[in-house]
Amino acid sequence: MRRPALAPQCNDNPLFARLFRALPVWPAGKRCYRFVLMPSRRVSDRGIPFRPMPRKLVHYLRNERRRKALTQADVAALLGGRWKGRVAWYERGGLPPTEVALEYEAIVGKPVSDLLGGAFHSARLKVRRRAQELLRKDNAPNTARQWRRHRALERIAA
């Protein structure tokens, strides 16, 4: 069976044809030659595969600001700045410095670890791996201080 050609607008753009693939759609019992455009799993021109969406957002600053009905200008004024550009940069994925993150906690009323959920999650995983590595390299504890250290590392690695 011959597959019908794609719509002309798809064939005209070679980049579009590389990024999307056409899938035939057959409704119940009929043959239909409409196509659904699906993102391709192929690699882009530069050899970089399309990354899947991260499991957790880097942070939830924009969501919390909107939940409190504050504008970016309001948050900028509360952070001590005159322009909202820095607030927009933080909301697009830039991680704020410690002082600004603590000010966000005061503004929104949520802990920094909740506001910066994805960043906190990845940092926690890194620390957990390092603690596991320290436990592997560690000798058997034989003093009270070494036992406290060993228990603290086990708690972090768990």
Q: Quote the pTM value.
A: 0.55
Domain boundaries, the chain: 8-39, 61-115, 125-157
pLDDT in the model for residue 145:
93
Cα angle 153, 125, 152 (rounded to 5 degrees) comes to 10
The pLDDT, as a whole number, for residue 2 is: 58
Closest CA to 101 of 82, 83, 84, 120: 120
* The one-letter amino acid at 116: L
Give burial (CB, 10 Å; 0-12/13-18/19+) of 22: middle
CA 45, CA 158: separation in Å to the nearest integer? Answer: 42
pLDDT score recorded for residue 133: 94
Position 33 scores a pLDDT of: 47
Q: What's the CATH number for 61-115?
A: 1.10.260
- Identify the pLDDT of residue 111: 92
For residues 82-115, one letter each, b for 16 or more C-beta atoms within 10 angstroms of the residue's C-beta and e for the rest, the string is eebebbeebbeeeebeeebbebbbebbeeebeeb
Q: What is the pLDDT along the chain (158 residues), one digit of tens a residue?
A: 555 555 444 445 665 555 555 555 445 555 544 444 555 455 455 555 555 555 556 678 898 999 999 999 999 999 998 888 999 999 888 888 999 999 999 999 999 988 888 888 889 999 999 999 999 998 888 999 999 999 999 999 98
Which pLDDT belongs to residue 48?
A: 54
How confident is the model at residue 144, as a pLDDT? Answer: 93
